[in-house]
Amino acid sequence: MSAIKKFQVTFDCADPERLARFWCEVLGYVPQAPPEGFATWEEFARSRPAGEPVGWFACSDPSGVGPRLLFQRVPEGKVVKNRLHLCVRVGTGLVGEERLAALEAECARLVPLGAVRVRLMLADEENESCMVMQDIEGNEFCLD
């Protein structure tokens, strides 16, 4: 049996395009091209029946290395802590004050985009420091 090499991460959300564009900024991803036959996402949205929003939006790593991210509209809001979260690797290989500085710098970049800083978890005997954050819909993610 061959190993799976590619996968997609799917987010349930209220506003797929807004959340996708946030994650494009966080990760350096690019929005997926609009559906075939449409020059822009706005054109596609205008083609929908009145009042029916576009139900999904996707983005991908322009280098082709990272997974595709799909954002799909769901009627219910987020209620409890995520069972899965993304770890944005900004401090790989860094330790101590240098790592903390990298985490703080990335946090400072993301907060104006709508991210919320939740807490800084300082290094212990087993783990290096990381920062818990929330995206614009309240989904937890970590800077590590």
The DSSP-derived string for 44-111 is HHHHSPTT----EEEEE-TTS-SPEEEEEE-SSPP-S--SS-EEE-SSTT--HHHHHHHHHHHHHHHG
d(CA 132, CA 116): 9
pLDDT at 51: 66
* Architecture of the CATH domain 8-73: 2-Layer Sandwich (3.30)
Q: Which residue has the tokens 């690797």?
A: 89
Annotated domain spans of the chain: 8-73, 86-143
* Both tokens assigned to 134: 């929330």
Query: What phi-psi label fits residue 131: left (phi over 0), alpha (psi between -120 and 50 degrees) or beta?
Result: beta
pLDDT at 34: 85
Query: What phi-psi label fits residue 138: left (phi over 0), alpha (psi between -120 and 50 degrees) or beta?
Result: left
Task: Please say whether the dihedral angle defined by the alpha carbons of residues 115, 86, 25 and 27, taken in this order, is positive or negative.
Answer: positive
* pLDDT by 10s per residue, the chain, length 144: 677 778 899 999 999 999 999 999 999 999 998 889 998 877 887 888 876 777 889 999 999 999 999 999 998 888 888 888 999 999 999 999 999 999 999 999 999 999 999 999 999 989 999 999 999 999 999 999
